[in-house]
Structure 1
Amino acid sequence: MRIYAVTPIHVDAEELARRQARYAALSPPGVEIVLHDIGPDAPRALDTDAQVRESESLVVEALRRAPDGFDALLPDCVLDPGVALLAGTLPVPVFGLLRLSLGWAVLTGRRSAAVARNKAIADEIVARAEVYGWSSTLIGVEVLDLDVHAIADSDRWAGGLGGAVGTLAAAGARSVINGCSAVDIPAGVVLPARVVDPTALALRLIGAGE
C-alpha cells in the first residue's frame, strides 16, 4: 500500500527528510508512506487556533489534489486535519493518526488520555475526539508548553512528559497518546503510564488491515 502524506506545517528539507525517514523506519512490510511538505504558504507552527484552522484548510486542499497512483491518503498530523470532512468523499481512504490510535484504545477498552505541545493542539485533540464520538473515553489532555523546535528534540520532549503523564495516570489513564506525529521518545525513558506513539500504532494497524 502506497500512502500519500502531507505535513500540516511548512518544514525545511532537513525536517522533511527526518520525518520521511521516521515513516520508513516505522512502516510495516507492504506499507510505504510518501511524505510531501504542505508548502511555504502554510504556518510554520500550530500555536494558535487560527493556525490550526489554516493548516486544516491547506491539508484538505492538498489531499483533494493528491496525484494518482496512491492507495490511501494521510495527514502527517495527530490532529487529523480534514479526515472527518474527506472520509468517504474520495476514491481512496483517508487515514487519521488520532482516529486510528484513539479508536484502538476505544476498541480495546483502555481509558486513554493525551499530551500536547500547547493549548491550541490540546483543544483540537479534544474537539476531534468529540467529532469521532469518543469524548467519554478521553480522560484529558495535558499541555507540555513546548515550542515547535521540541518536535525534533526527543530528549527535550521526553523531559517534559513526566509530570504530565503522571497527572493523567493518576486520573486513571492506562495509555497516553503522544500528541505529535513526528516525535521519538528515547529508549529507556520510564513514565507512569504507557505513552503511545500515534504514528507507530496507526501504521501497525494499517499494515494489519492489509
Structure 2
Amino acid sequence: MSETLTPEEIEALFTRADGAFLFARWGRPIVPVVFGVQDATLATVKGAVEAVVALAGHSMAETDPELGANLMMFFFRDWQELLAVPDLDRLVPDLAPLVARLEAEGANQYRIFRFDEAGAIRAAFVFLCMDADLGAVPAETLALGQVVQTVLLWSDRAFTGRSALGQLADGRVVLRPDIGALIRAAYDPVLPAMSREPGHALRLAARLQAPS
C-alpha cells in the first residue's frame, strides 16, 4: 500500500460506473440519528460519527433546522420493515419500489444522499439489513465503515475492490491512513463542496502532499 494516494487513484474514488466524476462533501453540521439498535450499539455508531467528523475537521450539531436530523441510519432484519416506518416514504420518494428492488437483488445495505442548491450533501439515509454477513461484522467495524462511506459522496464502486478500513497487527480495524488523509483534504474550506471536474482530484492530491 502506498502511503499517499495518487491523483489517478483519487479520481477513481469519485468516478462513477457511468464514467462521470462527482465529488461532494457535507455543507452543514451533521446530526445523526440511529434506529433499530440497542443503547450500546447506538453509542458505538455515534462514536464513529464523532471520530470521522473530527478527522474531517467538520462539525456536528444537536439539530438540523430543516430536517431535525440529517444523517439517518436504520438497522433492521427485513427490508419490509422500512415500509412501516412512519413518514419515511415522505423522506424517501418511491420507497416501496426501492424496497422491492433491493429485496430482489439480495442487497444488505443502501445509501441515499440529498443535496443543497450548491451541490453539497445536506442529508443521508443509510439502510442496513442485518443478514448473516452484516451480522458477523463487529459493531465497531460496521459503524466506522458506514460513516466513512457517508462523510463524502464516493463513487458507487469506490470500495468494491478494497475496503476503506484496514487491520492492525493486533487485530484492531481502523480507517486506512490514506483514506483518512483524503477525507481531511476533502474538507479543506478553500475547496468547493461539490465538483464535477476530474481535475478536482489534483487539488485533493496537492493537499495530501502538504505538510501538516
Same-fold status (TM-score > 0.5): no
Q: Which has the higher helix share?
A: 1
TM-score range, shorter chain: 0.3 to 0.5
RCO higher in 1 or 2 (8 Å CA, sep ≥ 6)? 2
Larger radius of gyration: 2
- Taking structure 1 as the reference length, the TM-score comes to 0.34
